[in-house]
Structure 1
Amino acid sequence: MTHLALLCVRNEGAFLLEWLAHHRAVGFNNFVVFSNDCDDGTDEILDRLAAMGWLTHVRNDGPYDKGGIQFTALKAAAKLPDLQQAEWILPLDVDEFVNIHTGNHTLPALHAALPDATAITLTWRLFGNAGQVRFADAPVTETFSRCAPTRMFWPWRAAMFKTLYRNDGTYRKPGVHRPRDPDKAKLDAARWFDGAGRPLTEMFKTRRIFSDYGQDNYALVQLNHYPLGAMESYVLKADRGRAVHSDDLLGLDYWVERNFNTDIDDTVNTLAPVRDAHLAELKSDLELGRLHDAAVAWRRQRFDALMLQEPFRALMGRLMMTAPSQPLPLKAAQFLVRHATLARDQSEN
């Protein structure tokens, strides 16, 4: 089978090679990557990778439609031959790593476990900062192993998923969390399963973007989500801006809702030997190695410059003073969910 991962990046050249090497080890054999307005040489890295046959690079420097940067890229992606020819598609971000728990931990093993699936939801497992202050040029998956528990009751973002879907015409366009533009004539035959192998209801075929609370959604596959990284990296993320909600500035609210460190999960590194072989192949290319090192140097220089500006220096100080987040117990979460439900019902009436 052909599996295509779709990615949008800006100023993330320091993380790109690890991400590609890991997902090649998982079983993705094609990548389409959109870059926009890069300062760290990410676009040059992607050009070199395209010349080496690793991926297709598309510059997405604007103008952007009202949906924003990522939606503009996804809209353009739907028209590309790479996507039209792929058998399976998964839109991802560079801080998301597919982690398969069945068989030999690859995509074919996942399909063997769910042979009838049209779509498989990969629920986020949030990996916290674990007190890491400075950015290090080391694998993200080895630097951060502390994470949220397998059962979370709040916030709802902890249950969000990305969708690996069969490109059989049931859905005609990729979306950030789920495929879009369904063919209504094919929806009845579509079969959705979650990361634990449970069949999902009809609602998931057209609407849902998060899994049910309070259950383990990871028996077969999970999506390791590293949205924070080191505190230094988070300051750079705030400077970069968000791909979807580009007008929303990152602050402590985003941090607190994702900085869970109660559990340890290093299962993603089962594929580390294969990943490292791919990574060594990439870094053996002198031009690619030079560009990677330049992206790492740019991050350090940019952080130093940001720390001379009060908003970013203040953010760094708050990050250093803020304790890790604690998962809410069921009763506390139910209190919040009840009010969220009331607000939704009132808005619909």
Structure 2
Amino acid sequence: MRATALLGVKNEGAFLLEWLAHHRACGFTDFLLYSNDCSDGTDAMLDRLAQLGWLTHIRNDGPHPEGPQWAMLKAADKHPAITGADWLLFSDIDEFVNIHVGDRTLKALFAALPDATAIALTWRMFGNAGAIEISDQPITETFTLAAPVSFAWPWRAQLFKTLFRNDGSYRKLGVHRPRSPNPDLVAQARWFDGSGRALPASFAQRRIFSDYSRDNYQLVQLNHYALGSMQNYLVKADRGRANRDASAFDMSYWVERNFSEIEDRSILQPDSSLQSNSAALRAELRADPILGPLHDQAVAWRRARFDSLMQQEPWRALFGRLLMTPASHTLQPERAAYLLRHAQVAVQTAPVKQS
């Protein structure tokens, strides 16, 4: 089985080795990475990883009128690492596949869902938990407080990424789900949620978020470390969004994702071969005479970039707000339902966009 993970990165060398080690231990066999106008040495790290046979690296430097993410997806559609794969996932570097079944690898997940064309990996938001400074510690070990299993608002917390079979049912990659369904095949496509339940036909062609009233994580979840430490968040906000049409990283983004209500250490199970394999792979990469110093350089770059941003009042103001704002709390069901009712009315009355 050949499973390819697609990833786009910009100035994220400090997180790269942990993400790769975890997903190789999970069972991904191929990695196709695009780098965008890096200043921290991420592109040099990817060149070295390509030399070591870990991945394929393509530079995706701009300008990109549609945004670097869509430029990457369009280019990747025809790449052999994509066309030759059995399974595909487009991910971000702050998203970690967290499998709960069997030996916690893709092989075990696919054995649990043998009829799946696509598996919706619902985000589980991991909050900041009060972390302030940039530290060179694994993200998965640093941030272990998350959102509850189910809650209704904000609806973005129920978004998913799609792990899907490359069987021709879909002909193009997308951000949250595959696009361009093949009319001859998509009617037979079978979608399942992260708890192994068959999903309705609406998921085969248009849905991008899960049913909030269910536990969508019994077999697999997608740990989403969207915030990180407060200092790292400033550097992330300075970098900007990969999607041209997406809103900026600001206080609204922070508040809608800073849930630290439930401890979830499932990705760190100490008796799991996945955890030990991931740690061993990470240590092996850090020990490389080229990768190790480049990783250290990327961490130092982030700290220097934060210090530079703090010389400007708008960034100091944002950092001050982060320090003053407590963790977000989930809304009581009746308040969330009130918001959802109005959202549904807005969707139903919105004018139809002409393609």
TM class by shorter-chain length? over 0.9
Report the counterpart of residue 147 of structure 1 in structure 2: 146
1:281 equivalent among 266, 277, 284? 284
Report the counterpart of residue 342 of structure 2 in structure 1: 339
Alignment of 1:148-163 (within 5 A): 148-163=147-162
Amino acid at match of 1:310: E
Task: Summarize deviations over 1:206-253 as a string: whole Å, max 9, x none.
Answer: 100000122110000000000000000000011000111466321110
Report the counterpart of residue 174 of structure 2 in structure 1: 175
Change over 3 Å in CA distance of 1:65–1:167 after alignment to 2: farther
The offset of 1:99, in angstroms, is 0.2
Secondary structure of the equivalent of 1:227?
coil
Amino acid at match of 2:91: L
Report the counterpart of residue 212 of structure 1 in structure 2: 211
Report the counterpart of residue 47 of structure 2 in structure 1: 47
Task: Summarize deviations over 1:52-94 as a string: whole Å, max 9, x none.
Answer: 100000111123243x210110110001011000100000000
The offset of 1:272, in angstroms, is 2.2
Change over 3 Å in CA distance of 1:246–1:291 after alignment to 2: farther
Secondary structure of the equivalent of 1:86?
coil
Report the counterpart of residue 220 of structure 2 in structure 1: 221
How many percent of aligned residue pairs carry the same amino acid? Answer: 59
**Partners in 1 of 2:125 and 2:246 — Cα distance?**
23
Report the counterpart of residue 64 of structure 1 in structure 2: 64
The offset of 1:348, in angstroms, is 4.2
**Partners in 1 of 2:246 and 2:283 — Cα distance?**
38
TM-score w.r.t. the length of structure 2 is: 0.96
Amino acid at match of 2:279: D
The offset of 1:172, in angstroms, is 1.1
2:292 is equivalent to residue 293 of structure 1: no
| 8 Å CA contact 1:170, 1:183 repeated in 2 | yes
Secondary structure of the equivalent of 1:293?
helix
| 8 Å CA contact 1:153, 1:329 repeated in 2 | no
Name which of structure 1's ranges 123-132 and 303-312 shifts more when overlaid on structure 2. 303-312
For structure 2, list consecutive stretches of 5 or more residues without a partner in the other structure.
none
Task: Summarize deviations over 1:127-173 as a string: whole Å, max 9, x none.
Answer: 00000000110100000000000011111111000000000111111
**Partners in 1 of 2:315 and 2:238 — Cα distance?**
8
Amino acid at match of 1:25: A
Report the counterpart of residue 130 of structure 1 in structure 2: 129
Report the counterpart of residue 261 of structure 2 in structure 1: 262
Report the counterpart of residue 84 of structure 2 in structure 1: 85
Change over 3 Å in CA distance of 1:110–1:247 after alignment to 2: closer
TM-score w.r.t. the length of structure 1 is: 0.98
The offset of 1:191, in angstroms, is 0.5
Amino acid at match of 2:160: F
For structure 1, list consecutive stretches of 5 or more residues without a partner in the other structure.
none
2:309 is equivalent to residue 306 of structure 1: yes
**Partners in 2 of 1:256 and 1:164 — Cα distance?**
28
Amino acid at match of 1:287: I
Secondary structure of the equivalent of 1:28?
coil
Amino acid at match of 2:45: I
Report the counterpart of residue 97 of structure 1 in structure 2: 96
**Partners in 2 of 1:126 and 1:89 — Cα distance?**
22
Amino acid at match of 2:50: A
**Partners in 1 of 2:79 and 2:320 — Cα distance?**
44
Change over 3 Å in CA distance of 1:246–1:294 after alignment to 2: farther
**Partners in 2 of 1:128 and 1:245 — Cα distance?**
25
CA RMSD of aligned residues (A): 1.0
Report the counterpart of residue 321 of structure 1 in structure 2: 324
**Partners in 1 of 2:193 and 2:246 — Cα distance?**
32
- Name the count of aligned residue pairs: 348
**Partners in 2 of 1:318 and 1:196 — Cα distance?**
37
The offset of 1:269, in angstroms, is 1.3
Name which of structure 1's ranges 187-196 and 237-246 shifts more when overlaid on structure 2. 237-246
Report the counterpart of residue 18 of structure 1 in structure 2: 18
Amino acid at match of 1:79: K
The offset of 1:113, in angstroms, is 0.5
The offset of 1:189, in angstroms, is 1.4
Report the counterpart of residue 35 of structure 2 in structure 1: 35
